[in-house]
Each structure stands twice: as C-alpha cells, then as structure tokens.
Structure 1
Amino acid sequence: MIDGLADAGEVTPEESLGARIREFRLARRISLRALALLAHTSPGFLSQLERGQANASVGTLRKLADGLGITLPDLFTDDDVTRPKVLRREHRPEIHTSNLTSKYLLSQKPLRNLEVYVADFLPGGNSGDAYTHGDVQEMLVVISGSVTLELAGAEYQLNRGDSAEYRTSTLHSVRNTSAEPAEVMWIISPPTLGAP
C-alpha cells in the first residue's frame, strides 16, 4: 500500500467486509433498503459500505449482522465460501428441545443459502406448540418412521420418504404419535432467524 492507497488488484479490508455483507444480504434475498432499515442506516450508506467505500461503527455492524441472522464475527471470517465442509454425526450442534426429541443443525455457520436440521423423535416426542418463523420456503422430509405434521390446523400423516413443502409463515408443528422412533429433516431457504 502506498500513501494509503491499495495496490492495483489488492482487496482492501473495507472491500472484503462490504463483499461479505452483500453476499449474506443477497443470499437472504433482503433488499438494500430493507437491511438499511433493520440497521437504522440509509440505503446509500449501506451501498457505499458494500462497495468498500465507507466504514461502519461496531454498533452498525452488529445491527447489520442481527438483520442478516449472523454473528458479528461471521462478517470477518476468512472462511472460503466455496470450500467443502464435512460435519460428522458426533459433532452436530444439538438444539435441546425435550427428553423425547433431539434436534441438530446440519448447516454449518455462517448460514448462507439454506438452513438444514434433523430431529429424532421418540414415541410421544414433538417440536412443541405450532409456530412460525419468517416467510420463506420450508420442506420437511421423513427419513425414518412416521410423524404427524400440523399445518395451519390441518393434520397430515407422513411416513418414511414422504415430504411436505410450505411457507415458514404457516403455523406448523411435528409430533410422533407412533410406537416407533422417527427421524425428520427440515430444509429452509433462504435461512430464517428462527429455527424449527
């Protein structure tokens, strides 16, 4: 760097940060204006930030990260977006729900284009009361056993290999009313801030 200017072809820290913010924003299909509103800043400033032409305070970066559903360190990681990632079964992060249900996050953070969970339901296990999270596409796939899926008050019996697709804004819940364990997978795209 000479006189504060980056060498031709060299990416500045500001450009790198801006590119990551833009990458996450586009992956979540959030408009520049919507993200600026969430971060209490202007779309013009956010546009400059994404192009590496402005600096943001830590407070603004925290608001941007919250609006994107990521952590502040996710904006500064050197992880290569295209690098393959392997997650071993024994290293899955568990989301404690109940003694009858074990839920695991399969998508590795930071979440980019999709969010994937699996859950093991013992007989009587459930995902809790019907809930919503955001308004994006969600697919439930039954890997083994059978479960009852409640969607907007209607119930559907799903067996191994069955799937259902719906918006995350639809009230939904899953329960195992059978005498055998069941395993399901949720696939959500783009990622939402709330987990199933």
Structure 2
Amino acid sequence: MSEQAHFLKKEKQSVVITRSHREAAVEPLQLGQRVREIRLSQNLTLEEASQRTGLARSTLSKIENEQISPTFTAVTKLVNGLGIDIPQLFTQPEEKKAASGRRDITRKGQGRLHPTTTYEHELLAAELSGKKMVPYRTTVFARSFEDYQDWVRHEGEEFLLVLSGQVMLYTEFYQPVALEEGDSAYYDAEMGHALVSLSEEDAVILWITA
C-alpha cells in the first residue's frame, strides 16, 4: 500500500484520542499561512502545487485554510514537491544579515505543538529561521507498527534520544530494537522507519532531523 493510500485510509479510520489534560493545552502548529506564502512565492496556483506535490487540490486548500493539520507524509510531499526543506516550512525566511552568533531558548512546555494520530511533536527553537537541523520533543502515541501500515521515510538524517518510557524502533533494513530511557539512535531517514511506545505511559523522545 502506498503512503498516500495508507494515510487516506488512516484519515477515515482515525480514532479520536481523548486526553483531556492535553486538549486543554494543545494549540496545533498552524502551517497553512506558511504553505500559502511558499506557494505564492513560486507563482503557483493550487492546481499547479497539487500536481507538484501529489496532494489533492482540496487537501492543499484545507491545509492553507487551517481546516486540517497535515500528516507527516503530507509535510514530506509538500517539502519535496515545492523544492524546500523542512526548516523552511516551519520557519519564516531568513533575512541575510551580518551576525557573530544567534540563540533561541525554548522554555519547558512552550514549544510549538503539532499533534498527529501517532505522535505529538513539540517543535523547539521555533523562532530561529534557516536552521540546518530541526529539534523537537515528541510524545509517541502509536502502540503498534500497524498504526502506520507503511514506512515513514523522508530526506535527511535523524537522531533520537529516549527521554522517558520505552520505545520500539522499526527500521527497514534492520531488526526492530527496543530503546529505553537514555538510549539513542542515529539513522538515515530515507530508510523506512517507525516508532511505537512499549511502556504503559506514552514514551517521550528528543528527535533531531537534519
């Protein structure tokens, strides 16, 4: 099953996860305005952007109007189809200026949240533009590889560090491996991969994509 077909199926079958304490605090990261800005900067119509990304015109319209939150696969299609990288999608364009250094601090619980059916990503250092890597703190909702139905894959390399709980890391060319608090992994993100929680509580990891 293709990634697109898989996630269309997941959209129809997705179960609402009731976590009242999270619902009160979660403000999903709004990517619609940024997607529209990038599309218009390339003088693309919705139809042209649809052809480039492989996403339906109606799906693109809903993303731009904040009617739906894009899945990780949809984000990957946007990145590849529009010829940008992930940091460009999540941050404003960098203004060229002379500087000896820069810094961004994210206080606990104050990162930009982007929840999906399998993860809840908290983007860190979100105020910095033009980053060469994207750090985020992720709560892993998935409990089985079947929650994905297909591999997750995208450009770049990834590093993960387990902050709490226990996870199972599935990778396309290796046997699944259990990772506990303090364990880490570095891998090629173009290789199919998926992560599920093994612990009673949702595991939490630090993820860095470059």
TM-score (norm 1): 0.53
Residue 137 of structure 1 contacts residue 167 of structure 1 at CA under 8 Å; is this kept in 2?
A: yes
User: 2:171 maps to which residue?
Assistant: 151
Q: What are structure 2's unaligned runs of at least 5 residues?
A: 1-40, 44-48, 50-78
RMSD: 3.6
Residues 141/133 of structure 1: CA separation in 2 closer, same or farther (3 Å cut): same
Q: What are structure 1's unaligned runs of at least 5 residues?
A: 1-57, 190-196
User: 1:104 maps to which residue?
Assistant: 122
Give the CA deviation at 1:150: 0.4
Deviations 1:101-147 (A, max 9, x none): 4221114242422111211235838895221011x221111111100
Residues 137/76 of structure 1: CA separation in 2 closer, same or farther (3 Å cut): same
For 2:98 and 2:111, how far apart are their aligned partners in 1? 19
**Aligned positions of 1:15-164 closer than 5 A:** 58-59=41-42, 66-69=82-85, 70=88, 73-76=92-95, 82-98=101-117, 101-108=119-126, 109-121=128-140, 124=143, 129=148, 130-134=151-155, 136-152=156-172, 154-164=175-185
Quick one: percent identity of the two aligned structures?
21
Q: Which has the larger radius of gyration?
A: 1
Q: Which has the higher helix share?
A: 2
TM-score (norm 2): 0.50
For 1:94 and 1:125, how far apart are their aligned partners in 2? 23
Deviations 1:67-113 (A, max 9, x none): 34326951447796822111123321111113x74221114242422
The count of corresponding residues between Structure 1 and Structure 2 is: 128
User: 2:192 maps to which residue?
Assistant: 171
